[in-house]
Amino acid sequence: MSVLLNVILTAQILAALIMVGLILIQHGKGADMGAAFGSGSSGSLFGASGSANFLSRSTAVLAAVFFVCTLALAYFGNLQPASSGSVLESVAVPAAPAGAIPGGAAPGAIPGAEGSAPASAAAAPAPAAPASGAGQIPTK
């Protein structure tokens, strides 16, 4: 699968670079000297729409190749396994709320020492989380 992704990525990069070069080489519609005097399509046999020459047809083909490669990379990018080696995947999500301790112990109590917790630690309420994101904005 990795070899296929590398081939598609290489084809996309080459198509993009060649397409940029072809676009820069092409002759614009208004670049003739006659275009400055009102006859922009004077050099064309088929009028304003004209027939496509080799450069414009090859640009269109390379654009199609570029879009197909982009769609293929997007498709294969969603098929990655669950553990792709991302740093964000290694972050553990807590299963319990921040103030709760498994086993029903009071906040601040040491697990395994049921009777040794001070009374003030058992009676202290857990800090309340702000209702919205407004409580997290620092004030000056």
The yes-or-no verdict on residue 69 having pLDDT over 70 is yes
Whether residue 112 is contained in a domain is answered as no
Domain count, the chain: 1
Does some domain include residue 115?
no
The string of pLDDT tens digits covering residues 92-118 is 776 666 655 555 555 555 655 555 555
Domain span holding position 73: 1-27+53-79
Q: What is the pLDDT of residue 65?
A: 96
128, part of any domain: no
Q: What does pTM read for this prediction?
A: 0.47
Does any domain span residue 21? yes
**Given this model, what pLDDT does residue 87 score?**
72
In the structure encoding, which two tokens stand for residue 11, read together? 């084809």
Q: Compute φ and ψ for 72, nearest 5 degrees.
A: -65, -40
Res 75 pLDDT > 80: yes
What is the C-alpha separation between 62 and 56, in angstroms, rounded? 10
Taking only the tens place, the pLDDT of each residue in 34-52 is 656 665 555 555 545 555 7
Q: Is 55 helix (H, G, I), strand (E, B) or coil?
A: helix
44 in any annotated domain:
no
| CA dist., res. 124 & res. 107, Å (int) | 8
